[in-house]
Amino acid sequence: MSKPIINADECIACGACADGCPVGVLEVDDVAVAANPDDCVGCGACVDACPVGAIEIED
């Protein structure tokens, strides 16, 4: 199962990842978090949307 891994030290909490996620896995407060990791489809939209490269998809 795929899931997003967020590097909290690099995250700038811009919300681009949450906006780009088609299934609503990510939420943003002080940093992005995978609020619903079991819903991740592994598409990589969050990785592509992150302007600082703070997200990876783990299989």
Q: What is the pLDDT of residue 47?
A: 97
How many CB atoms within 10 Å of residue 21?
22
Q: Please report which confidence band the pLDDT of residue 59 belongs to, taking 50, 70 and 90 as the band edges.
A: confident
Strands 32-34 and 3-6: unpaired
Pick left, alpha or beta for residue 31 (phi over 0 → left; psi -120 to 50 → alpha; otherwise beta): beta
CATH code, 3-58: 3.30.70.20
- C-alpha distances (whole Å) from 1 to each of 10, 27, 32 are 24, 19, 20
pLDDT (tens digit per residue) in 4-50: 999 999 999 999 999 999 999 999 999 999 999 999 999 999 999 99
Q: Judge whether 1 and 25 are in contact, CB under 8 Å.
A: no
